Structure 1
Amino acid sequence: MTVLQRAQAGDENAFRELTAPYFRELHLHCYRMLGSVTDADDAMQEILLAAWRGLEGFEERASVRTWLYRIATNRCLNAIRDSKRRPPAEPVPPFEPPPPSRTSDVTWLQPYPDELLQEPEAHAVRRETVELAFIVALQRMPPKQAAALLLVDVLGFRTADVADLMDTSATAIKGALQRARAALPAADPAPAPETERQLAKRFAEAFVADDIETITSLLTDDAWLAMPPAPHEYHGPPAIAGFLRASAEARTTTLALEEAGANLQPGFRCYHADQHAVRRYAGHLVLEIRGEGIHRITRFVS
């Protein structure tokens, strides 16, 4: 018997063997669709349960991979529809922040740890398809447009296959693709690795020292700071400096950063240490480097 036949006969070990090669890429697909690792984890449990229950009726008219992507995409679309993008509770800052430049509508965003992208099949993941700017753009699209874009442009499925997978016509998929592509931000060339490493290192040193002047000098003129799940955004070096200064003046603990890349971008786990050197996790920082400067700081608040 083949692995598929054994799995269809109720062999759980065979089912795990059948689905394991696709787990990591399906998880990343769910993250791209949902913008949240937590929601992707939950979706994967539902996807595997649905696959197990539906395996007996799988007739091999498509590959196992395509069949799993059908289940995954539709589960994600259902999750988005059912939740209606309910934002998480807005954290209450321990100080009075300056008025934000604007507020974000994507407060459920979470970072995707680079260690989850180190699996053997992840070597083909293109950086521009996992960076935070791309993930945010997907969250702002109508969900079916985002799904079509991911399935065709990122994962390489044929338009006709995606139409079948999403139970629609090829014409509808082509229209969704056209609109989704137009909504994507312009892709900037990836910075030189050494430039990125040096900028991230200098930022980290200045951040833990509350050296606002140095941080400001590292920013591009159009840099901005976001803080999911808080909706506040600060645009431009003066606004960012104002927020960081207010935060530093109110803080009674020492900052520490631990290098931890996310979304294939420079990142750090952030900790607060009290007078007894007891460290408390305080979120994740992710940097977007553009040219010779830091264009975006995303501080994921714990």
Structure 2
Amino acid sequence: MSETSLDPTADLAKAQQGDDAAFTRLVGPLRRELHAHCYRMLGSSHDADDALQDALLRAWKAIARFEGRSTLRSWLYTVATRTCLDLVESRGRRALPMDLSPSSDRAVLEDPPRTEIAWLGPYPSDTPAASYEQREAVELAFVAALQHLPGNQRAALLLFEVLGFSAAEIATMMDTSTASVNSALQRARRLVADKVPEQSQQQTIHALGNERVQQLVASYSTALEQGDADALVALLTEDVTWSMPPLGHWYSGRAAVMDFATEVPLTRCPSWHNLATTANGQPAIAGYLGMTPDSEHTAWSITVLTLRDDKIAAVTSFIGPEHFELLGLPLTH
């Protein structure tokens, strides 16, 4: 099952005759990029798991009918896209707190999790093999913007802008006309342009340099661990936002963010231990909460930092130990 295929053509023939090991070898090199596509479509790594599993099952059942009119990669993206479109229709879109309500001016101390909401989740994208473009295409702002698009526009934009398929190829993949694809692309580009900053996080990180990015992450971690509000506020832009799905309230502007930070993570949370990590191609921090500095600290939140110039412009804290498991991080520290 895990052997590397030396002859994809032979494996295709074997797969079409019912050899599941040959099929596994065929799709193995494409699994990661297909999973990332499903995440961009659905906004959840767990939903992407389900979609990819379903898509590969559909592909396995249909492989005997694959006639080679397109590449196997294109065919698999067709199956995966259609699977995701079915899920988009049945499950709806994923959200961040700012999609649902205005920001809060002051810290909300009683803020129970809103479990009825399908929340956007983080993605473990930053591996040595991930290209610049792959990391850019899973940045939080981009994936969050995609969730505002109807499924067909979302799919068309991703297939064209991220994956490089032509409008004619996409029309075939989505069983529609080229004119419809071009129309969907035009509408999708307008909305995404309104919601996504002109400079991507990859461009910002490149401009700052890895050393400076690491310094910002370390300074944020230290300020939180030491309860130093002044040091924390010095890192933030004037229009910084802080959100914490599955909590519904969020904060916008340095004053509101600092009121929240001072009242909750800097005061009411006894002790923090933080680990630097990455998610969505962006710098992130795994936050562990403990009762005392010397006690065992347990997984609390994965905080993804969005940078602008030399400051932190957005803090998105995904609360829950399931996000640590997703990123391959320990549950205690």
TM-score normalised to the size of structure 2? 0.81
Q: What does residue 289 of structure 1 align with?
A: 307
Q: What does residue 182 of structure 1 align with?
A: 190
Q: What does residue 110 of structure 1 align with?
A: 121
Q: 1:299 to 1:290 in 2, by over 3 A?
A: same
The residue correspondences of 1:27-42 to structure 2 (distance < 5 A) are 27-42=35-50
SS at match of 1:50: helix
Indicate yes or no: 2:138 matched with 1:130. Answer: yes
Q: What does residue 154 of structure 1 align with?
A: 162
Contact 1:224 1:234 (C-alpha < 8 Å) held by counterparts: yes
Q: 1:274 aligns with which of 272, 281, 291?
A: 291
User: Structure 2 counterpart of 1:209, which letter?
Assistant: Q
The alpha-carbon deviation at position 186 of structure 1 amounts to 3.2
Indicate yes or no: 2:179 matched with 1:171. Answer: yes
SS at match of 1:82: helix
Q: 1:248 to 1:153 in 2, by over 3 A?
A: closer
SS at match of 2:61: helix
Q: Aligned Cα RMSD in Å?
A: 2.3
The alpha-carbon deviation at position 159 of structure 1 amounts to 0.8
Give me the whole-angstrom Cα distance separating, in 2, the residues matched to 1:52 and 1:126: 26
User: Structure 1 counterpart of 2:124, which letter?
Assistant: P
Contact 1:162 1:173 (C-alpha < 8 Å) held by counterparts: yes
Give me the whole-angstrom Cα distance separating, in 2, the residues matched to 1:155 and 1:6: 28
The alpha-carbon deviation at position 86 of structure 1 amounts to 7.6
Give me the whole-angstrom Cα distance separating, in 1, the residues matched to 2:119 and 2:43: 7
Contact 2:217 2:285 (C-alpha < 8 Å) held by counterparts: no
Q: 2:271 aligns with which of 243, 254, 258?
A: 254
The alpha-carbon deviation at position 106 of structure 1 amounts to 8.1
Q: 1:78 to 1:150 in 2, by over 3 A?
A: same
User: Structure 1 counterpart of 2:197, which letter?
Assistant: A
Give me the whole-angstrom Cα distance separating, in 2, the residues matched to 1:157 and 1:34: 20
SS at match of 1:295: strand
TM-score normalised to the size of structure 1? 0.89
Give me the whole-angstrom Cα distance separating, in 1, the residues matched to 2:109 and 2:258: 10
Q: 1:86 to 1:133 in 2, by over 3 A?
A: closer
SS at match of 2:121: coil
The residue correspondences of 1:1-302 to structure 2 (distance < 5 A) are 2-85=10-93, 97=108, 108-115=119-126, 117-119=127-129, 122-123=130-131, 125-184=133-192, 185-188=196-199, 189-191=203-205, 192-193=208-209, 194-248=211-265, 251-275=268-292, 277-302=295-320
Give me the whole-angstrom Cα distance separating, in 2, the residues matched to 1:249 and 1:272: 12
Unaligned segments of structure 2, at least 5 residues: 1-8, 97-106, 321-333
Contact 2:243 2:251 (C-alpha < 8 Å) held by counterparts: yes
Q: 1:126 to 1:252 in 2, by over 3 A?
A: closer
